[in-house]
Structure 1
């Protein structure tokens, strides 16, 4: 059984799918591991490190992609400089494990199905106790929440903590976290460690205790509808509920020095939480960090990948924040992927067992078909025709 680690070609992607430590574990199990030359360089893992762990370094991209049984990546397959898709480099029947964004970009799933690739999407790992060690969305979101606060602290023209000096007392910064999922909770903990006064909002009332346990005040909005989707994610709510939510949070946004938004719905445009009117009421010098920038943004003024100043408020729309911390991001992702490999490989042989709830949920394409109904629906909505 041969496992290969591809070098990421996306410009902003610095992570790698396996680190030397996880390669060593797989090699000890009798598996052959190929690593594309330079795959770990931007994560500060050298080819020498991988060779010492037992991997074979491959300089020929076509050979690595075309002769492997299981290919591991971080980003979805990309279009290459020669105009070909990376999907075309895979041999028919191979297995691909990666973030695939199948709900946001179902065309890639269609390409993989046409190539008869068994594709497992790391976004689709279910949020169950048994699957925790494989939950790459959570591991990477934690990094994003942490880094978002550091970015905000660097951009804010104030201290975060309260300080008592000979020149007087400095009041602590007020930070408002919108969305208390993994990223939001990490943002709360980080802002508290930096000494800020923190408030947090989420449409899911069940997260109130988690927010309070981290020392933040929970801003609650009572809604007359279900707010939790399958897997524990926040559910898209009605327009009436969105309006009610905005009315409640507007005052908290207005009084905050920093607002960090983290609300995302898989496969959908990010919910609009901060309107232009709210931004206009914020104090000059305030900062918004929008972690949903690449899904359209939670803030109406966000421009993905850019830092802008709107009415005196700095609005930062970072993309792929985990990649800015590639050592630990790769370490966590590699652990997630390796845990999934333990589920898929038994006695050095690949076994894709669809009776297993984790495999069934994560497997997007197999044997020339798109297996996931939500992905088929997304593709049909995009193209107007059925798929798979």
Structure 2
């Protein structure tokens, strides 16, 4: 970032804390970093408390702490953990920028609403992950890494025995056998954490390149006897399987799953319905006390047939945890990473001291999902 300059862009963040959300889109250290790029910050009072950041922390870093109405009125751009609600969108002025996971893949009506409000929408879900200049902006990578770690911790907490092998005077306890389905960012972090906790870990992913990554962490790669050699999709994600391939995969996973104590599923397709990796038959084949953590559970479905957000116990005694909010459970670290992602996106669009979308780069064209207006007009007293 550049040296300290007089601030000309105001970046705002509101309090998004809820029963399922403890993260904040701005941390005090990022306030300090943004000063060097001519950005001043304004944050709603109490926004960082759930992530262990007080209003005093932000004020010491140089941010202005205010009520929500003031934040929305004064900010040129606003950053979100999720996306602005309809109420917030209605409160914003034409020309203001909103940065967040805006759901542009699946919610065209929402993007249209941003357009009609005259707002500039920056959809982080559209980030070209393979673009080197975008690595520090990649919210999915940072938050999925936290999610994978927390998924392993949640599984260990729910499992009724030790994860590592343990020899005691009363006998030897065998190590837990864990299966991770989906070896992307979240899956690899889950593998590493489970291994550190002492479990015997096996993993599977349709992408051919994932086998080496899994084995490099000391886990076994699950051989389903299937060849999805073109499993790598665009942008670093796994491609969607055909209906026939998915049926073959489900049947093979169901058969293999019965030998595991813990199963963690992490296969998300951004903005779309996640693939079902473990069917109801597979869940029913697990032993009593087995734990399944479905990180992809949402209103669109999950990787596990029958999973829903929250915890449930099947008639067969299997603990099924639908957990899309795991990153929020590590709010301090997750907020540190997320705020860096959002800030770097903001700074990318600051040119000559102002917000600008000349759309001269591949990254610009990908991220701008609503609005083609230039920055808000300079404020007048």
TM over 0.5: yes
Q: Counterparts of 1:224 and 1:185 in 2: how far apart (Å)?
A: 20
Q: Is the 8 A contact 1:77 1:108 kept in 2?
A: no
* Aligned match of 2:107: 105
Q: Is the 8 A contact 1:27 1:55 kept in 2?
A: no
* Aligned match of 1:284: 288
Q: Counterparts of 1:180 and 1:94 in 2: how far apart (Å)?
A: 38
Q: Counterparts of 2:20 and 2:107 in 1: how far apart (Å)?
A: 18
Which of 81, 88, 93 pairs up with 1:74? 81
Q: Is the 8 A contact 1:10 1:75 kept in 2?
A: no
Which of 32, 40, 46 pairs up with 2:54? 46
Shift of 1:104: 3.1
Shift of 1:30: 3.0
Q: Counterparts of 1:171 and 1:159 in 2: how far apart (Å)?
A: 8
Q: Counterparts of 1:11 and 1:169 in 2: how far apart (Å)?
A: 41
* Aligned match of 1:297: 302
* Aligned match of 1:271: 275
Which of 183, 187, 210 pairs up with 2:186? 183
Q: Is the 8 A contact 1:174 1:258 kept in 2?
A: yes
Q: Counterparts of 1:366 and 1:308 in 2: how far apart (Å)?
A: 46
Q: Is the 8 A contact 1:223 1:241 kept in 2?
A: no
Q: Is the 8 A contact 2:311 2:319 kept in 1?
A: no
Q: Counterparts of 2:170 and 2:82 in 1: how far apart (Å)?
A: 51
Q: Counterparts of 1:317 and 1:229 in 2: how far apart (Å)?
A: 26
Q: Is the 8 A contact 1:138 1:182 kept in 2?
A: yes
Q: Is the 8 A contact 1:175 1:257 kept in 2?
A: yes
* Aligned match of 2:378: none
Q: Is the 8 A contact 1:9 1:78 kept in 2?
A: no
Q: Is the 8 A contact 2:37 2:347 kept in 1?
A: no
Q: Counterparts of 2:123 and 2:292 in 1: how far apart (Å)?
A: 31
* Aligned match of 1:5: 13
Q: Counterparts of 2:360 and 2:310 in 1: how far apart (Å)?
A: 41
Q: Counterparts of 1:183 and 1:264 in 2: how far apart (Å)?
A: 10
Q: Counterparts of 1:87 and 1:287 in 2: how far apart (Å)?
A: 40
Q: Is the 8 A contact 1:205 1:220 kept in 2?
A: no
Gapped regions of structure 2 (runs ≥ 5): 1-8, 374-381
Deviations 1:274-299 (A, max 9, x none): 11111111111100000011131111
Equivalent pairs counted in the alignment come to: 362
Shift of 1:252: 2.3
* Aligned match of 1:15: 23
* Aligned match of 2:205: 202
Q: Is the 8 A contact 1:20 1:53 kept in 2?
A: yes
Gapped regions of structure 1 (runs ≥ 5): 80-84, 369-388
* Aligned match of 1:58: 66
Q: Counterparts of 2:165 and 2:328 in 1: how far apart (Å)?
A: 32
After superposing the two structures, state which structure 1 stretch, 274-283 or 191-200, moved more.
274-283
* 1:1-388 paired onto structure 2 within 5 Å: 1-8=9-16, 10-59=18-67, 61-79=68-86, 85-128=87-130, 129-221=132-224, 222-223=226-227, 226-294=230-298, 295-367=300-372
Shift of 1:209: 0.5
Q: Is the 8 A contact 1:144 1:322 kept in 2?
A: yes
After superposing the two structures, state which structure 1 stretch, 281-290 or 228-237, moved more.
228-237
Shift of 1:267: 2.3
Q: Counterparts of 2:152 and 2:229 in 1: how far apart (Å)?
A: 31
Q: Counterparts of 1:161 and 1:224 in 2: how far apart (Å)?
A: 33
Q: Counterparts of 1:10 and 1:350 in 2: how far apart (Å)?
A: 31
* Aligned match of 2:3: none
RMSD: 1.6
Deviations 1:302-348 (A, max 9, x none): 12123333411110111311111110010000111122223111342
Q: Counterparts of 1:136 and 1:220 in 2: how far apart (Å)?
A: 31
Q: Counterparts of 2:108 and 2:329 in 1: how far apart (Å)?
A: 26
Structure 1 segments of 4 or more deviating over 4 A? none
